[in-house]
Amino acid sequence: MLNQDLHIHTIYSTGDDAIVPEQTIAFVASVKHAKIVGISDHFEYLSDGAYEAYYKELREAGLKVGTEIDGHQFADEAATFNFDYFIYHCRDLDADYRSLERLLAKGKPVLIAHPNAFNTNLNRVPSECFIEINNRYVWRTDWKKFYGPFKDSFKFVISSDAHQPNSLGQAVAQNAAVQLGIKEHMVF
């Protein structure tokens, strides 16, 4: 079991075409692939009426209530909603770095989403932010070169960024076997 996974999408990310219909909150909760699980659907799909149901469903499932914010355009509005934490797309823009300060002022954890994918300048990111190593994006760039210089400057979190059950890892198949009462046979 993983320690934590706070970057997971569900069918609440309605406009994200990587989502499959099986990726529901109930399904993610049932897999129990990590000790601490948080859901972080894209804020732009929650702000227009879906937030109340999202919040209630996550609380009832015992999962942390997060959201992924696409830069400064959405940050001020997102900060007015009650989330346990924020995941933030910080592009290399003055406005994106400025909005980070306003999110931090809420006193909730702020995680910088896959900074290697956006070429976020980590020299401009406050050290109170948590830096994500993201399973969906880490391998697409020279991660040693990107993260290496900052390894002692920040605290890091490791996330799946799952949009589909298989991104939660082999725990999905293991959970099915357990529920079926099947014990895996070791071939070797």
Q: Interface with Zn ion includes 161 (CB under 5 A)?
A: yes
Region 5-44 residues binding Zn ion, contact defined as CB under 5 A: none
The 38-77 contact track toward Zn ion, x by CB under 5 A, reads ------------------------------x---------
Q: Find the part of the chain contacting Zn ion (CB under 5 A) among 44-52, 59-67, 72-80, 111-119.
A: 111-119
Q: Interface with Zn ion includes 122 (CB under 5 A)?
A: no
- Spatial separation of the C-alpha atoms in residues 56 and 62, rounded to whole Å: 10
Beta bridge partners of 8: 162
Closest CA to 86 of 62, 64, 67: 67
Q: Find the part of the chain contacting Zn ion (CB under 5 A) among 31-39, 109-117, 148-156, 180-188.
A: 109-117
- Spatial separation of the C-alpha atoms in residues 185 and 155, rounded to whole Å: 39
Helices (H), the chain: 25-31, 51-61, 72-78, 94-104, 115-118, 143-147, 171-180
Q: Interface with Zn ion includes 103 (CB under 5 A)?
A: no
Task: Using CB under 5 A, list all residues that contact Zn ion.
Answer: 68, 113, 161
